[in-house]
Chains A and B, each alone.
Chain A
């Protein structure tokens, strides 16, 4: 089997599974509380670890009262820089693109508030918690640098995960010179934290030099190797289980220091160790979305065509490592402009290192871009949908390449029709409801890359005609257990009930990373290819069996459907899988497959999912109280494997966008650097009553180039477009343009 898929496939068996709105296969386990999440594991002899964290953001730990902590009944061990056993890799060493520096008690430095400064292990969680408190740390504190103007500003070598920092295409000066209309505008976005419902957790147990880890993880096989590296053991010695994640959003694809400490403690004590981060400790060592300041300059000709698009962003990162929220890159691929320039800078502050958080860069960049586009439309006196259509990119603005498929026009028209966009007044403050509230309508374009990573899978046909399919995929709640199994069943020509799907463990073939909205496409392709590989071998057996009705038909001469192979030209000639295997005396038949992008296609075409989001808001004209009353999104994201799950993903993205627009903001004390709202009472995300009538339209899109299955991703695109749509609707309701997120009541009542 080759590691690429040549599109368009001539051999796609559109079985009964794909395209079906199946409910989650793990749903019953979850609603009955029997799905085993990492922290549900309680091996024999388990002890509990609690991290003691820093109350300062910069300086050093001067003292820890280890004696008091160890004297507390139940406390077994206290690990500090003074007694922390060595690691095979220095935690301050970079270990590749996904390898961030972290704190594993390598010294007494403090680089951000809530940084681990000790680990306390005890017989009970309560004893460990109190032990951590009894450490009563003292510090030599230095002034924390928290604001954009406080820290060192610099030009980072790369942004996001290894992306170029700056981009220029065309002649910006000429674009501005040609302009009849222009706008310059600024937007700020705050630090946001992933806040997965399931906190970061690990249960670690050693058996000699073999290590078993239960921990939620978005990149299981890759992480196995990382874990092994820090402990100087071969990757095969690590068994990492992650069957379910209660959300990840990017924060569970990186290595947090507390995990390494828990594993160290398990080895020191010779007992299994459980560590579950309390909510407030998720505001430090496990990443976040860095705050940004963005400036956009747009120039347009008399007809409202862009002549120049400039997007400059500054993102906060930590004092010791970098993940630069690549916000400006949101302007690369959406709107046609003869000149595009994006630049990024960074500011070092005393905060934990940011990381990829759901639509990293796309979310914060789209928020600013879609508002700026609305401002530009207004400057040209055009309806904002008409302005977007005039600047529709027929080819990728950044590369000039054709799109593999782009049904954005249909997204615009279907979304606008469902929403009732036609007739929207151009000027703000024109619409009221019968209660006197201001009503506003806004829109935004949605865009997200359609990447593929690398994945492997195995499919094993069994004597009874059923199959086992395996890949180390990750179900973060999005429905991978179901959607991947649907694809696998189709690859095998079996009903989904006949397929046993194993996933979520590191002893399975590498399922790649569940991130970047590329998991279904990547792991799905691997599973599908493993299935077709097994079927090809099966066809070979039948074709070479003189007593088979399929004798001589050859691999390409059969079709697999419902557990039988059929002769392509003569449906009456068929044989069941079980019969073929039995006659061949074969107990099991194994196929393998890989998923990955065809490099030739990747080179030739730009590959994105697209969408359009329309929002209605109501605003109390005196009190500034805001409420989103309607959201309609239309999305074209290739072939949809499971419409129920895809719609749910898009809803989730749109709700995330609403949260970005109106709710989410981590607040840090400017002096101490401590987060002040590190819990779900203080860090607001929407409640049910904030979620309006929602509609997500799945626009058909046949993309023959993106991969053999035509699958793109739907995980993150719903966020993009939505933030801007809501902000634009608030402007349309009130005439007030807020230049920061989240938009606050006081922004509207001035």
Chain B
């Protein structure tokens, strides 16, 4: 291991100051960062351990129905927080479909949002990667890329963002609250994940020294709770990243969709909000046919970045299915296999 400095600041202000130095990285549970350091893919010269910072471990219900979740809340704790899971069932489902029980017990909300792509070329320091080492090229583009991006990619980078959690969050217009050298600010979660341009693939929308201190769900996000699902295709039932996933949230009144929210996971460098599909569903009857049209609209701009053309058709089918599931209603209880295609004990509309 290389030599690095280890700091354990006592306040957010100290943490931000410590992390403003070039080469610094925030350390939370370390479930991703430490792996990358051992692989030699990331070599921070300073680790700023934020796990002891006060006041970042709370789940607060805000006046008006929104929620604020501290960046250090554990994934497992958040998914099992009754008020949160009732208000945002698809977020809880996505959380429980991610990683393994052991990892969820350790991993933090902020760390989950800030995790790096699992592109094998990003993780291999001997491979060219514009995301890891800007300007070196992208070995994934002509390499083993079966699971890579089909939306929003460029020749500079075809990596996908691996988080399940962030997919329903982006669908629900979640906001991240940020502390930085210039004070506090907030941004739409979606903007935390810039898409690559023709030459660059920036890792995040944060500026040097900035840290995510909390995640906020707006009050209207809870209005979808009766029809909110997350569906994840993966190659083993646990401890596997999505091949394609999708979060759908609907408000249905009198048999018509008043509002639809839809986001795809594992298809782009960010959780992919499908706004054209959402617009198409406004006022529509929830039906397989309408959901199929929405799926087509969501993937209209998709193109393979390599040996992954099948992901486009798969994404269409996942969207259609997750919309059907959402229309059927949020299950009364968390499915035994969260987000799995093998849970169809559906229909009981809960949390109304």
Q: Give which listed residue, B118, B237, B318, contacts A623 with CB less than 8 A.
A: B318
Q: Give which listed residue, A437, A623, A662, contacts B233 with CB less than 8 A.
A: A623
Q: Give which listed residue, B124, B236, B238, contacts A674 with CB less than 8 A.
A: B124
Is B2's CB under 8 angstroms from A130's CB? yes
For A687, the closest partner residue in chain B by CB is B238
Q: How far is the CA of A682 from the CA of B233 in the complex (A)?
A: 16
Is B40's CB under 8 angstroms from A133's CB? yes
For A129, the closest partner residue in chain B by CB is B1
Chain B positions within 8 Å of A623 at CB level: 233, 314, 317-318, 321, 341
Q: How far is the CA of A663 from the CA of B239 in the complex (A)?
A: 13
Q: How far is the CA of A529 from the CA of B213 in the complex (A)?
A: 71
Chain B positions within 8 Å of A670 at CB level: 143-144
Q: A667 and B144 in contact (CB under 8 A), knowing A681-B239, A687-B239?
A: yes
Which of the candidate stretches A200-208, A229-237, A540-548, A741-749 sits at the interface with the other chain? A741-749
Chain A positions within 8 Å of B1 at CB level: 126, 129-130
Q: How far is the CA of A663 from the CA of B120 in the complex (A)?
A: 18
How would residues 419 to 450 of chain A score, 1 for a CB under 8 Å from any chain B CB and 0 otherwise?
Answer: 00000000000000001110000000000000
How would residues 188 to 227 of chain B score, 1 for a CB under 8 Å from any chain A CB and 0 otherwise?
Answer: 0000000000000000000000000000000000000000
Chain A residues within 8 Å of B, Cβ to Cβ: 55, 126, 129-130, 133, 280, 435-437, 618, 620, 622-625, 627, 662-663, 667, 669-672, 674, 676-677, 681-682, 684, 686-690, 744-746, 749-750
Is B120's CB under 8 angstroms from A677's CB? yes
B77 CB, nearest partner CB in chain A, Å? 22
Q: A663 and B317 in contact (CB under 8 A), knowing A623-B341, A674-B124, A677-B120?
A: no
Is B236's CB under 8 angstroms from A676's CB? no
Q: Give which listed residue, B238, B243, B321, contacts A745 with CB less than 8 A.
A: B243
Q: A672 and B2 in contact (CB under 8 A), knowing A677-B120, A744-B235?
A: no
Chain A positions within 8 Å of B314 at CB level: 623-624, 745-746, 749
B119 CB, nearest partner CB in chain A, Å? 9
For A676, the closest partner residue in chain B by CB is B120
11 A-B pairs (CB sep. < 8 Å)? A130-B3, A436-B344, A620-B341, A623-B314, A625-B233, A669-B144, A670-B143, A676-B124, A682-B118, A684-B236, A689-B236
A506 CB, nearest partner CB in chain B, Å? 34
For A671, the closest partner residue in chain B by CB is B143
Is A749's CB under 8 angstroms from B313's CB? yes
Chain A positions within 8 Å of B348 at CB level: none
Asked if B6 is at the interface (CB within 8 A of a chain A CB), the reply is: no
Q: How far is the CA of A160 from the CA of B118 in the complex (A)?
A: 36
User: Contacts A133-B40, A662-B236, A689-B337 given; 14 further ones with Cβ under 8 A?
Assistant: A280-B39, A623-B314, A623-B341, A624-B314, A625-B340, A662-B235, A669-B143, A670-B144, A672-B127, A674-B124, A674-B126, A681-B239, A687-B238, A690-B237
For B314, the closest partner residue in chain A by CB is A749
Chain B residues within 8 Å of A, Cβ to Cβ: 1-3, 39-40, 100, 118, 120-121, 124, 126-127, 139, 142-144, 146, 233, 235-240, 243, 310, 313-314, 317-318, 320-321, 337, 340-342, 344-345
Chain B positions within 8 Å of A129 at CB level: 1
For A620, the closest partner residue in chain B by CB is B341
For A688, the closest partner residue in chain B by CB is B238
Is A663's CB under 8 angstroms from B235's CB? yes
Chain A positions within 8 Å of B100 at CB level: 687
Chain B positions within 8 Å of A686 at CB level: 236
Q: How far is the CA of A744 from the CA of B310 in the complex (A)?
A: 11
Is A625's CB under 8 angstroms from B2's CB? no
Q: How far is the CA of A687 from the CA of B314 in the complex (A)?
A: 24
Q: How far is the CA of A618 from the CA of B337 in the complex (A)?
A: 15
Chain B positions within 8 Å of A435 at CB level: 342, 344-345
Q: How far is the CA of A526 from the CA of B124 in the complex (A)?
A: 49
B86 CB, nearest partner CB in chain A, Å? 25
Is B126's CB under 8 angstroms from A745's CB? no
Chain A positions within 8 Å of B120 at CB level: 667, 676-677, 682
Chain B positions within 8 Å of A280 at CB level: 39
Is A684's CB under 8 angstroms from B235's CB? yes
Q: Give which listed residue, A133, A436, A667, A674, contacts B2 with CB less than 8 A.
A: A133
B328 CB, nearest partner CB in chain A, Å? 12
Q: How far is the CA of A129 from the CA of B40 in the complex (A)?
A: 11
Q: How far is the CA of A625 from the CA of B337 in the complex (A)?
A: 13
Chain B positions within 8 Å of A436 at CB level: 344
Q: How far is the CA of A704 from the CA of B285 in the complex (A)?
A: 73
Q: How far is the CA of A133 from the CA of B125 in the complex (A)?
A: 11
Chain B positions within 8 Å of A689 at CB level: 236-238, 337
Q: How far is the CA of A669 from the CA of B144 in the complex (A)?
A: 6
